[in-house]
Structure 1
Amino acid sequence: MKWIWQSPDWPQFTYDAAKFSLLEREFHRNAGVIVGSLAAISDAEVDELRVTLLSNEALDTSKIEGEVLDRDSVQSSIRKQLGLQTDGRRAGPKEAGVAQMMVDVVKSYAEPLTPERLFLWHKMIMNGRTDLETIGGYRTHTDPMQIVSGRLDRAYVFYEAPASSCVESEMIGYIEWFNQAAEAQMPTIVHAGMAHLYFELIHPFEDGNGRIGRIIAEKALAMGARQSLITSLSTTIERDKKAYYQALERANLSLECTEWLVYFSQKILEAQIYVQKMIRFIVFKARYFDRYRGQFNDRQLKVALRLFGEGLDGFKGGLSADNYTRIAKTSRATTTRDLAEMVEMGALKKEGKLRYTRYYLPMEG
């Protein structure tokens, strides 16, 4: 036997259930904290959080596959899909497609998984593609579906999926398993991790399997938590996608998938912590602009908005005077005066001295 799906026991995955009781409790505890936090913030803040998380997830699930999208276009398209006010920006086909998929997942998270839903998502993320034989359907090509790494002249096939002729029957079994596992209330983190792995091992589409596989995992998490907020799984995975691909490669070797599930569960919990931080960040942003309304000049307001636009991580290494001068399109002397004013009023924290001076938003943690 060379490939996992050639095993006589395929697809009977096994795992050590004892390893996941504490992880499962932590998942549901975190989910409860998130739901409670959402109940304590305004509708406008919930909308901003949802747009931010969905756009980050759209960008990062694409980035994992080496595809860089335009952030502003993705956000504008997501706002449009959610029925929120937009800047009127026209999104490109890739940005519009992945935005549609992210919003559809949120709206349909509680529904059973179906082939039609998978085909719809595939059409969305392949929006604008003309190089594929099949869009919105399972692959049909006769060539082997191989996952290859390394240089073109020294390529290494680390996995080959079932033949296209087997995909439809494999996916009938997969979808039946996914829905039955949800109904049987399989531990949520196990359901999500196994759903992602099982889908990737079938690799049913000509392209886009990673993105759809990760969104299926998000769907499983939302179903288990009984709330539609995206968990930011791709955003967490993208920070160390090399480890993600290594974990997937090791999981190709055996139907005993405890190691994979432990790795994936840890990523889920990290993603939940990220969401909690994002909630605090969104609340801080709203309070920040309430506090300093009318106190900033146009330059200071522009820079403050840009700082928040950088998200939780902010400017790498902090905001420098040179950054401020470029963003505000002003002189060095004016920059010095503006920054001193913002520090004095408490709108920025100052760290370092002379050319090593950097400025940060005054958010704890």
Structure 2
Amino acid sequence: MKREHTGDYEITAVAGEQVKAFIPSPLPPVPGIDISPELQQSHDQALIAVGELNSLTSLLPDYSLLLYSYVRKEAVLSSRIEGTQSSLSDLLVSEMDGIPGVPLEDVTEVSNYVAAMQYGLDKIREGLPLSLRLIREMHEVLLRKGRGEGKNPGEFRTSQNWIGGTRPGNAVFVPPPPHRVMECMGKLELFIHDPALLLPVLIKAALVHVQFETIHPFLDGNGRLGRLLITLMLCDSGILKAPLLYLSLFFKVHRQEYYRLLSDVRSTGDWEAWLSYFLEAVTLTSRQAVTTARQIARQISDDRKIIGQTGRSSATTLLIFECFTRKLIADSKYIVAETGLSPATVNSGLTRLQKLHIVSEITGKKRDKIYSYARCMEVLNQELEYDTKE
């Protein structure tokens, strides 16, 4: 549906140039969203797919590993959209105070993403509503270290920004002037918590994402935080039991369509086309997450059986292996602390796991060795490798 009024423009001066900054109309759209039979069907399919994803929390005995790894995989994917080169392995090594294989700033940005997501989820569980306060606090965590620490972490911008182009005059899009940011964000907060609105949560999250990206309230980190808000809203509403749904890969693979649809919302108010795209993203991403989770569960089960057939040493080897079902990368010190086994026993067990091709040593060093649950990492890296081919 095309809408005549999607927002207003205000002339503002940026770097010596006069530009038209866009101020979006507050949500919900007017006229309201046209839930056609096709859009309703897309919504129902997305809801079913999310339900299947939720079932993993009760069906999988190794759910904690899935959650641990999925949050970190999303951090890598979302940060890659912003230009970092960090891998999942780099992040996991850095969390052990190891040395990653890319610039430390890249890993710091990815690590900040994990921390921001966890911070938001913890605060919501403590009873803090999804509010401007929480959004600013999450932004502060997101940018507290690394390249963004000089971009006013936790504060809405007080200067004009722009998207695309080499300067304001040839920008693809210019968000609201700084003096209108608080007004726009305040109205967005009211929309999020408006009890009179009867919109389905998935539809609401899709609308909020676009509005946040359009306002672009911070100097840096808007893309990452805008993607985080989707998962946070779904978890806050209860539609998602755990933070297992992330759309960064879909958005990146289909980024040209993503940007086109956001532009169409701003120019013509075609929210329905965006919603169709968003719901497809939720459906396909949820299904892929379920497939990946089942692959991981099968791999862990198969590896346990292999270890169980190794004879007298199987009991201690299995105990060591279980450390890798909670954490994908570990060193002998961590395993000794977790199992209570002696360093010699742990090292012998790690050698056996290497010979079985279940774990691999990833540093190549004689000392301070770090081991990776190689087979599980291969499953998780499938999407990350697909991303690099695009």
* TM-score between both structures, scaled by the size of structure 1: 0.72
Matches within 5 A, 1:84-99: 87-89=96-98, 93-99=108-114
2:258 matches 1:244 = yes
Q: Is the 8 A contact 1:188 1:224 kept in 2?
A: no
Matches within 5 A, 1:182-201: 184-201=197-214
* 1:113 to partner: Cα distance: 1.5
Match of 1:219 among 226, 232, 241: 232
Distance 2:277 2:164 in 1: 22
Q: Is the 8 A contact 1:199 1:213 kept in 2?
A: yes
- In structure 2, the residue matched to 1:106 is 121
Matches within 5 A, 1:1-365: 4-6=7-9, 10-12=25-27, 13=29, 14-18=32-36, 19-42=38-61, 45-75=62-92, 87-89=96-98, 93-109=108-124, 111-128=128-145, 129=147, 132-141=150-159, 144-149=160-165, 152=166, 156-180=170-194, 184-222=197-235, 223=237, 225-293=239-307, 298=355, 300-302=357-359, 305-312=373-380, 314=382
* 1:280 to partner: Cα distance: 0.4
Higher relative contact order at CA 8 Å, sep ≥6: structure 1 or structure 2? 2
* 1:281 to partner: Cα distance: 1.7
RMSD: 3.3
Q: Is the 8 A contact 1:51 1:75 kept in 2?
A: no
Calculate percent identity across the aligned residue pairs: 18
* 1:273 to partner: Cα distance: 0.8
Q: Is the 8 A contact 1:196 1:217 kept in 2?
A: yes
Length, aligned pairs only: 302
* 1:313 to partner: Cα distance: 6.0
5+ residue gaps, structure 2: 10-21, 311-352, 361-371, 386-390
- How big is each residue's C-alpha offset from its partner over 1:211-237, in whole Å with a ceiling of 9 and x where there is no partner? 111111112222251523331211332
Q: Is the 8 A contact 1:76 1:88 kept in 2?
A: yes
SS class of match (1:117): helix
Q: Is the 8 A contact 1:307 1:315 kept in 2?
A: no
Q: Is the 8 A contact 1:74 1:95 kept in 2?
A: yes
Distance 2:225 2:264 in 1: 21
Distance 2:169 2:356 in 1: 52
* 1:210 to partner: Cα distance: 0.9
Q: Is the 8 A contact 1:61 1:234 kept in 2?
A: yes
Query: Measured at CA, do residues 118 and 289 of structure 1 come closer, stay the same or move farther in structure 2, by a change above 3 Å?
Result: same
Comparing 265-274 with 246-255, greater Cα deviation is found at: 246-255
* 1:314 to partner: Cα distance: 4.2
Q: Is the 8 A contact 2:262 2:274 kept in 1?
A: yes
Query: Measured at CA, do residues 314 and 238 of structure 1 come closer, stay the same or move farther in structure 2, by a change above 3 Å?
Result: same
Q: Is the 8 A contact 1:3 1:159 kept in 2?
A: no
- How big is each residue's C-alpha offset from its partner over 1:154-179, in whole Å with a ceiling of 9 and x where there is no partner? 98422111100111111111111112
- In structure 1, the residue matched to 2:14 is none
Distance 2:161 2:5 in 1: 15
SS class of match (2:163): strand
Distance 1:108 1:206 in 2: 24
Query: Measured at CA, do residues 75 and 237 of structure 1 come closer, stay the same or move farther in structure 2, by a change above 3 Å?
Result: farther
Distance 1:188 1:71 in 2: 31
* TM-score between both structures, scaled by the size of structure 2: 0.68
Q: Is the 8 A contact 1:197 1:248 kept in 2?
A: yes
- In structure 2, the residue matched to 1:320 is none
5+ residue gaps, structure 1: 78-85, 318-365
Q: Is the 8 A contact 2:231 2:243 kept in 1?
A: no
Distance 2:215 2:357 in 1: 53
